[in-house]
Structure 1
Amino acid sequence: MKDIKNITKWLNNEMSEEELADFQTTNDYKLYKDIVEEGSKIKLTSINEEDALKDFKARIKFKTKKKSKVISLKNNLIFKVAASFVLLFAISYFLLNNNQTTLKTNFAENKSFTLPDESIVDLNAVSTIVYEKSFLKNRTLKLQGEAYFKVKKGSSFTVKTSQGSVQVLGTKFNVKNREKAFNVFCYEGRVDVKHGTDKIILTKGEGVKLVNNNKLIKIDNTNLSEPLWLNNEIYFNEEIYAEVLDEFERQFDVKINTKNINTNVLFTGGFKKNNLETALKSITLPFNIKYQLKSNEIVLSK
């Protein structure tokens, strides 16, 4: 590579016809033409950093094997650029993952965690919380699943979910953010719940849930001091049966298959986690549903 100026002009489409004709006879043009063609094959509509990095490495490796000519890494700009991209990906991945903390639970697992501000969070089965390294300055986290929070008083504390957000100062509350359900219940203090343009303020003993028309509505009060699931009891208040079955799978680590079952009906009731078959009867008998146990698989039918 002898003429970086001409390479730059060619890449920026700034060459005259005469200059382009001369440049196309050089080895630099042949090499960079191949690189540009390979780069154009990479789709950028939806980028996954790890996939893009693997694809980039594979293409460079293929090019290296195909060329019999040995190219100096020290003197060749394209390999410097390639090395820069690889380094950039590595640094970005490292910074991103080291700037976040993830707390999670598996199937049939509940865990309690202490956050950096000394707030306590209990995670229900198959749930995830992610917060930034700067959490103490900006008490904000993301939740997927279900969690019970005992927030230490201080600055605003925000729980963001895919369906809405919850903001408090210092209180005890439960947030359930599942694919088929979103509800919040306040056990102490005050909770601000937002979903789109809707906003509802909850005080002790009040709850809210998202209904089919995509609106937040208040749900019945209760005198409970904490969620039942902390004591291995799962309760539903007019939730669709599909969510009941999903929750059963999460709590017992089983797979449920349905045959001719209407999973859009509403269910009120619950089950305890101490016995699978007893719990199964609790959610099937109200609808006269039959069940078959096959190892870790359950088949429901009418």
Structure 2
Amino acid sequence: MKNINSHNEPLSNDQEFLQSLPKVELPYSRSKEDVWQNMEAMMDNGKQSEETTTETKGKTINMRSWAMAAAAVIIFTLCTGTFFRLYTKTINAHAGQHLTALLPDGSSIELNAGSVIKYKPYWWRFEREVQFEGEAFFKVKKGESFEVVSSLGRTIVLGTSFNIYARKNDYKVTCYTGKVRVVSTSSGASTDITPNMQAVVNNGTVSSHNNVNTSETISWVNDMFIFTGTPIHMVFEEVERQYGISIKTTEHLDYLYSGNFTRDRSVDDVVNMICRSMGLDHKKVSNGYLISK
């Protein structure tokens, strides 16, 4: 029987070094299921964080949108209010025209030729005020104070009818019905007048006159023009307004005229009638007449 001697090959230096290292066992008690659950939880937390951030951004955007909308509403309201407060309507009766203006409250104004009114239609319910120059007959509905403002005077009423003549340096108010207060623009002096009375503003003073022939004063509303002791230049100015022509004189005429005419007559007839009664000559020229002694 042969003796077989075991023979071990010598180890290399690297192998000897590895075998000499102490064995370390890492404890690991989690299963694969635990690992996946942990990873899924981390992913869910990430999604919730993103959703929270998105929600916060959404709230910020919504608040900003509401603020911008509120600012837009405020600006729109202010602009609209300013427009309603400042918008002014103008009605102008040119030479040769008679116009009727109906105001928002139902009041009416009959405008003689060469007259103009201005008022604020959208602000009327808060302030019944008319800017006026010329001659007009007013029929005012009852209500809050109604004021007519001209360069020389103011007329204040509650509900009445009256005529205002406001041309150049003349300001006369004739009361037809109700009660009217007339105030001087320059001095603040005032007087109250009732039917058949007339107030005159002259250089800051206000005087009143009784027993005025109101039917004569407002006859122009019916296209009748009546003059009693009226300076001739004022008569010619009225003819100019009613017919849209020009009347010139070669010199100053210090005449007082009494008479009348209606608008249905031709301008030639009217000028001829006035001149003949005053002993004046007239000549037809371009766009009007030339008057001389």
Q: TM-score, normalised by structure 2?
A: 0.64
Which whole-Å CA distance do the structure 2 matches of 1:214 and 1:239 have between them?
22
Where structure 2 has 5 or more consecutive residues not aligned to the other structure, the ranges are 1-78
Give 1:95 deviation, angstroms: 4.9
Larger mean CA deviation between 114-123 and 228-237 belongs to 228-237
Aligned mate of 2:278, from 287, 291, 296: 287
How many angstroms does 1:238 deviate by? 4.1
Bigger Rg over Cα = 2
In the TM superposition, 1:146-295 aligns within 5 A as 146-195=135-184, 196-211=187-202, 215-218=206-209, 220-222=211-213, 224=215, 227-262=218-253, 265-275=255-265, 276-294=267-285
Q: Corresponding residue for 1:110?
A: 98
How large is the Cα RMSD of the aligned pairs? Answer: 2.7
Residue 47 (structure 1) aligns with: none
Stretch of structure 1 that moved more, 199-208 or 145-154: 199-208
Larger mean CA deviation between 273-282 and 219-228 belongs to 219-228
1:280, CA displacement in angstroms?
A: 1.7
| 8 Å contact kept, 1:208–1:219 | no
CA 1:223–1:134: 2 relative to 1, 3 Å: closer
Q: State how far apart, in whole Å, the 2-side matches of 1:101 and 1:283 are.
A: 38
How many angstroms apart in 2 are the aligned matches of 1:105 and 1:97? 25
**8 Å Cα contact 1:270-1:282 kept in structure 2:** no
* Structure 2 counterpart of 1:221, one-letter code: V
| Aligned length, in residue pairs | 209
Letter of the 1:130 partner, please give it.
Answer: K
Q: Do the aligned residues in 2 keep the contact of 1:206 with 1:220 (CA within 8 Å)?
A: yes
Task: Give the Cα separation in 2 of the matches to 1:156 and 1:272.
Answer: 35
Post-superposition shift, 1:201?
1.5
Contact 2:163 2:175 in 1 (8 A): yes
Q: Are the equivalent residues in 1 in contact too, given 2:189–2:204 (CA < 8 A)?
A: no
CA contact (8 A) 1:174 1:184 kept: yes
Distance verdict in 2 for CA 1:169–1:235, change over 3 Å? same
Q: CA deviation at 1:268?
A: 3.8
C-alpha deviation, 1:184, in angstroms = 1.1
8 Å CA contact retained: 1:187, 1:205: yes
Amino acid in structure 2 at the alignment position of 1:272: T
Aligned equivalents of 1:244 and 1:147: distance in 2? 17
Task: Rate the CA distance shift 1:278–1:223 in 2: closer, same or farther, 3 A.
Answer: same
Whole-Å separation in 2 of the counterparts to 1:213 and 1:285: 38
**Unpaired segments of 5 or more residues in structure 1?**
1-90
Equivalent position SS for 2:105: coil
* Identity percentage of aligned residues: 28
Q: Distance in 1 between matches of 2:262 and 2:289?
A: 17
Alpha-carbon distance, 1:243 to partner: 2.3
Residues 98, 112 of structure 2: 8 Å contact kept: yes
Distance (whole Å) between structure 2 residues aligned to residue 295 and residue 245 of structure 1: 16
- Aligned letter for 1:178? R
Aligned residue type for 2:221: L
Alpha carbons of structure 1 residues 193 and 300: separation in structure 2 relative to 1, 3 Å: same
Q: Does 1:122 align with 2:116?
A: no
Stretches of 4+ moved more than 6 A in 1?
none
For 1:287 and 1:210, how far apart are their aligned partners in 2? Answer: 30
Cα deviation, 1:73-125, whole Å, max 9, x if unaligned, reads xxxxxxxxxxxxxxxxxx9xx95996111111111000112101110111111
In 2, Cα distance between the equivalents of 1:176 and 1:265? Answer: 21
